[in-house]
Structure 1
Amino acid sequence: MKIKGRKYAGIVAIGCSAFVLGSFVTAKFANAPITVSVVKEAQKINGMDFTDGQADSMLNNLTQYRNSYDALRKLNMPNSIVPALTFNPVPVGFINPDNKDGFKVAKEVKIKLPANRDELAFYTITQLAGLIKTKQISAVDLTKFFIIRLKKYNGKLLNVITFTEEHALKKAAEADAEIAAGHYKGLLHGIPFGAKDLLAQKDYKTTFGAPPYKEQQLNIDATVITRLENAGAILVAKTSLGELAQGDIWFGGKTKNPWDITRGSSGSSAGSASAVSAGCLPFAIGSETLGSIVSPSTECGDTGLRPSFGRVSKYGAMALSWSMDKLGPIARSVEDVAIVFNAMHGTDANDLSTIAAPFNYDGGTKSLKGYKIGYTKVDFDRKYANHANDSVTLKKLQELGAELVPIEYPKMPVGAMTFLLSAEGAAAFQELVLIHKDDDLVQQGKGAWPNIFRSAQFIPAVEYIQANRARTMLIKAWYENLKGLDLYITPSFSTNLSMTNLTGNPCVVLPNGYTPKGRQSSITFMGQLFGEGKLLQAAQVYQNATDFNKRHPDLNF
Structure 2
Amino acid sequence: MATFDMRLQDIHTQLRAGELSAVELVEASLRRIAQTDERIGAFLTLDEERARQSAAALDARLRQPGGEQGLLLGLPVGIKDNISTEGLATTCASRFLQGFTPIYDATVVHKLAAAQAVTIGKLNMDEFAMGGSNENSAYRATRNPWDVTRVPGGSSGGSAAAVAAGQVYFALGSDTGGSIRQPASYCGVVGLKPTYGLVSRYGLVAFASSLDQIGPITKNVEDAAYVLQAIAGYDERDSTSANVDIPDYVSALSGEVKGMRIGVPKEYLGAGIDPAVKEAVMEALRVYESMGAEWEEISLPHTEYAIAAYYVLASSEASSNLARFDGVRYGVRADNPDNLIDLYRKSRSQGFGPEVKRRIMLGTYALSSGYYDAYYLKAQKVRTLIKRDFDEALSRYDVIIGPTAPTPAFRIGEQIGDPLTMYLNDICTIPVSLAGVPAISVPCGLADGLPVGLQIIGKAFDERTVLRAAHAYEQHTEYHNLRPQL
Once residues 207 and 174 of structure 1 are traced to their aligned partners in structure 2, the CA distance between those partners, rounded to angstroms, is 28
In 2, distance between residues paired with 1:270 and 1:401? 35
- Matched with 1:69 is none
Pick the aligned partner of 1:350 from 222, 229, 237. 237
Residues 318-355 of structure 1 show CA distances to partners (whole Å, capped at 9, x for unaligned) of: 10000000100001000101100010001101101011
Aligned to 1:80: none
Say yes or no: does 1:134 pair with 2:17. yes
Q: Which amino acid aligns with 1:212?
A: F
Residue equivalent to 2:125: 241
Cα offset, 1:364, TM superposition? 4.5
Give the alignment partner of residue 423 of structure 1, picking from 316, 319, 342. 316
Q: Which AA in structure 2 matches 1:480?
A: E
TM-aligned CA deviation for residue 467 of structure 1: 2.9
User: 1:304 matched to which residue of 2?
Assistant: 191
1:164 aligns with 2:47: yes
Distance of 2:299 and 2:362 partners within structure 1: 33
Give CA-to-partner distance per residue, 1:53-95, whole Å, 9 cap, x none.
xxxxxxxxxxxxxxxxxxxxxxxxxxxxxxxxxxxxxxxxxxx
Query: How far is the alpha carbon of 1:405 from its aligned partner?
Result: 2.7
Q: CA deviation at 1:471?
A: 2.5
Q: Give the TM-score normalised by the residue count of structure 2.
A: 0.85
Say if 2:275 is the partner of 1:396.
no
- Look up the match of 2:306: 414
Q: Which of 430, 434, 437 pairs up with 1:502?
A: 434
Secondary structure, aligned partner of 2:2: helix
Out of 425, 431, 435, the residue aligned to residue 345 of structure 2 is 435
Maintained 8 Å contact 1:430/1:453: no
Tell me the TM-score normalised to structure 1 length.
0.75
Q: Which residue of 2 aligns with 1:457?
A: 364
Moved more, 456-465 or 235-244: 456-465
Q: What's 1:207 paired with? A: 91
Contact kept? 2:401, 2:456, Cα under 8 Å: yes
Matches within 5 A, 1:15-30: none
Out of 519, 544, 548, the residue aligned to residue 450 of structure 2 is 519
* CA distance, structure 1, for counterparts of residue 32 and residue 347 of structure 2: 36
Q: Give the structure 1 partner of residue 412 of structure 2.
A: none
Alpha-carbon distance in 2 for matches of 1:526, 1:124: 25
**2:467 maps to which of 514, 536, 544:** 536
- Report the equivalent of 1:33: none
Partner Cα distance (2:111, 2:229) in 1: 10
After superposition, the C-alpha distances for 1:342-374 in whole angstroms (9 at most, x for unaligned) are 100011011010112333432551321121121
Structure 2 matches for 1:68-107, cutoff 5 A? none
Write the letter of the residue equivalent to 2:347.
K
**How far apart, CA to CA, are the structure 2 residues paired with 1:364 and 1:183?**
28
Following superposition, the deviation at residue 193 of structure 1 comes to 0.6
1:140 deviation in Å?
Answer: 1.2
In structure 2, distance between residues paired with 1:260 and 1:454: 34
| Alignment match of 2:397 (pick from 458, 475, 485) | 485
Structure 1's consecutive aligned runs of 4 or more residues displaced over 6 angstroms after TM superposition are none
- Matching of residue 474 in structure 1 with residue 386 in structure 2: yes
In the aligned structure 2, how far is the partner of 1:367 from the partner of 1:381? Answer: 30
Q: 1:451 to 1:522 in 2, by over 3 A?
A: same
In structure 1, distance between residues paired with 2:400 and 2:281: 13
- For residues 252 and 384 of structure 2, the distance between their equivalents in structure 1, rounded to whole angstroms, comes to 34
Q: Is the 8 A contact 1:158 1:252 kept in 2?
A: no
Cα displacement (A) at 1:457: 1.5
Are 2:40 and 2:161, in contact at CA under 8 Å, matched by a contact in 1? yes
User: Distance between the aligned counterparts of 2:50 and 2:10, measured in 1?
Assistant: 24
Q: Percent identity?
A: 29
How many Å apart are 1:148 and its aligned residue? 1.8
One-letter code aligned to 1:235: T
* Partner SS state of residue 261, structure 1: coil
Supply the distance in 2 between the matched residues of 1:274 and 1:372 (Cα, whole angstroms). Answer: 33
Q: Supply the RMSD in Å over aligned alpha carbons.
A: 1.9
| Structure with bigger gyration radius | 1
Alignment of 1:262 with 2:149, yes or no, is yes
Matches within 5 A, 1:544-555: 544-555=475-486
Per-residue CA deviation, residues 211-252 of structure 1 (Å, 9 max, x unaligned), is 111111110001001001101111111111111113313232
